[in-house]
Amino acid sequence: MSNKEQTVLTGIKPTGTPHIANYVGALKPLIEQSKTQKTFMFIADLHALNLIHDAKQIRQYTHEIAAMLVALGLNMDNAILFRQSDVEEIYHLNTLLMNVTPKGLMNRAHSYKAAMDKNIANGDDVDAGVNMGLYTYPILMTADILLYDSDIVPVGADQKQHVEFARDIAGYFNKIYGEIFKLPTPVIGRETGLIPGLDGRKMSKSYDNTIPLMAPEKELKKKIMRIITDSKTPEDVKDPDESTIYQLYKHFASEAETAEFAQMFRAGGMGYGTAKTILFEKVNSVLAESRKEYERLMANPAEIEQILAAGAARAKPYAAETLARVKKAMLG
Ligand code: TRP
């Protein structure tokens, strides 16, 4: 789908400490992709602002994500890794795009509609708690995508509408000012299926059931041992597909190991304690080396800042070129 000539761009919002579901769904595919594909990859700190009003926290999450990507083996030649707010052309383009973006388009954004629905259900004013950062979020995301002349934007299904908006807005712009922008295409990543958390529900910060990806070994073990299971005895035969332990294991093990583990569930004779130990050992062995490098980087924030600054310096010429083109078209 994507090849060398096409520009691929992806953004990660720093609103929490990355956990195992983030790894499986987003980080791992990005690492894989970076082996062969040049990608603009940025940490979307400006997109976190409508939710997080604590600079320290945004900086912390930004560093965690950057350090994790590097520690997990991101190919730093192919990936241009930077912090969104470091390339200041983004603010300019965002302002300019405001003027071709229909307000009605923003009214239809899923995330804004969800906020309104919640307010209505609670009997509050429809716009209670909605700031303009949330309302205009899709314009900023459009600016990200168009600033780097992106062809392909790999996203989760929840972000597809935003990329379609970017395409729409680029189209409105081009209709007025001529062929200034490329039209980006969303590419929805391979379905990973639901990644369960400690309580068996979807792993999510909002359910407080996550396993932090880079948790120290002791904490990782403690979390895994706390996975909720049913009351089957060790002797009972078990359906692996119903087990959180197996559902997590398969994302860290080889196919052969996964098949063998499934067989152990089906055969009976393996207690959940044993299954959890096997899961812990697998996850730990996959992550141990990266975790060491992650901890080293987190202890050296200046090094992380250096990595991000180098990425921003690489991204900037592309952004400057686009912004100049847009300003000329709009302002003469
Ligand atoms: N909105 C995306 C998310 O919440 C993050 C993001 C910001 C992004 N800008 C982007 C993703 C541009 C792709 C392209 O996950």
> What is the distance in A from the centroid of ligand 1 to the CA of 121?
28
Is the confidence at residue 2, as pLDDT, over 50?
Answer: no
Give the pLDDT confidence of 161-212 residue by residue, as tens digits. 999 999 999 999 999 999 999 999 999 987 888 999 999 999 999 999 999 9
Q: Helix 272-298 vs helix 255-267: angle between axes, to the nearest 10 degrees? A: 150
Q: Helix 301-331 vs helix 55-71: angle between axes, to the nearest 10 degrees? A: 100
> What is the distance in A from the centroid of ligand 1 to the CA of 65?
14
pLDDT band for 4, please (50, 70, 90 cuts).
low
Mean pLDDT of the residues in the chain: 96
Residues 156 and 246 in one domain: no
Q: How far apart are CA 310 and CA 42, in angstroms?
A: 12
Q: Which residues line ligand 1 (CB under 6 A)?
A: 9-11, 13, 44, 47, 141, 144-145, 153, 155, 159, 162
Residues 319 and 281 in one domain: no
Average pLDDT over residues 119-130: 97
Q: Which two tokens stand for residue 310?
A: 């180098």
**Is 136 inside a domain boundary?**
yes
**Is 151 inside a domain boundary?**
yes
Is the confidence at residue 285, as pLDDT, over 80?
Answer: yes
Q: How far apart are CA 36 and CA 261, in angstroms?
A: 32
SS (H, E, C) 206-273: HHCCCCECCCCHHHHHHHHHCCCCCCCCCCCCCCHHHCHHHHHHCCCCCHHHHHHHHHHHHHCCCCHH
Residues 235 and 102 in one domain: no
Give the pLDDT confidence of 292-328 residue by residue, as tens digits. 999 999 999 999 999 999 999 999 999 999 999 999 9
User: What pLDDT score was predicted for residue 166?
Assistant: 98
Q: How far apart are CA 134 and CA 131, in angstroms?
A: 6
Residues 6+ apart with CB under 8 A from 13: 43, 44, 47, 48
Strands of the sheet containing 79-83, edge to edge, are 79-83, 39-43, 8-12, 152-155, 185-188
CA distances from 82 to 10, 35, 244 (A): 11, 18, 35
**Is 178 inside a domain boundary?**
yes
**Is 200 inside a domain boundary?**
no
User: What pLDDT score was predicted for residue 215?
Assistant: 97
Q: How far apart are CA 170 and CA 176, in angstroms?
A: 10
Average pLDDT over residues 69-73: 98
Residues 32 and 88 in one domain: yes
**Is 211 inside a domain boundary?**
yes
Residues 165 and 222 in one domain: no
**Is 214 inside a domain boundary?**
yes
If one residue of 13, 91, 185 were mutated to test the ligand 1 pocket, choosing by the most ligand atoms within 8 A of its CB, it would be 13
Residues 140 and 81 in one domain: yes
Residues 60 and 133 in one domain: yes
Average pLDDT over residues 73-100: 98
Q: What percent of the chain has pLDDT over 70?
A: 99
Rg (CA), the chain: 22
Is the confidence at residue 218, as pLDDT, over 60?
Answer: yes
User: What pLDDT score was predicted for residue 189?
Assistant: 83
Give the pLDDT confidence of 5-57 residue by residue, as tens digits. 899 999 999 999 999 999 999 999 999 999 999 999 999 999 999 999 999 99
User: What pLDDT score was predicted for residue 40?
Assistant: 98
pLDDT band for 108, please (50, 70, 90 cuts).
very high
Residues 179 and 234 in one domain: no
> What is the distance in A from the centroid of ligand 1 to the CA of 40?
12
**Is 215 inside a domain boundary?**
yes
User: What burial letters (b/e) apply to 209-243, b meaning 16+ CB within 10 Å?
Assistant: bbbbbbbeeeebbebbeebebeebeeeeebebeeb
Q: Which atom of ligand 1 is nearest to the CA of 47?
A: 7
Containing structural domain, residue 34: 3-194+301-331
Residues 179 and 275 in one domain: no
**Is 199 inside a domain boundary?**
no
User: What pLDDT score was predicted for residue 5?
Assistant: 80
Give SS3 for 82: strand
User: What pLDDT score was predicted for residue 191?
Assistant: 80
User: What pLDDT score was predicted for residue 1?
Assistant: 44
Residues 121 and 165 in one domain: yes
Residues 174 and 322 in one domain: yes
> What is the distance in A from the centroid of ligand 1 to the CA of 45?
10
Q: Which two tokens stand for residue 262?
A: 């499934």
User: What pLDDT score was predicted for residue 241?
Assistant: 95
Q: How far apart are CA 132 and CA 125, in angstroms?
A: 15
CATH (domain of 66)? 3.40.50.620
CATH (domain of 254)? 1.10.240.10
Is the confidence at residue 265, as pLDDT, over 70?
Answer: yes
Residues 314 and 166 in one domain: yes
> What is the distance in A from the centroid of ligand 1 to the CA of 122?
29
How many domains does one find in the chain? 2
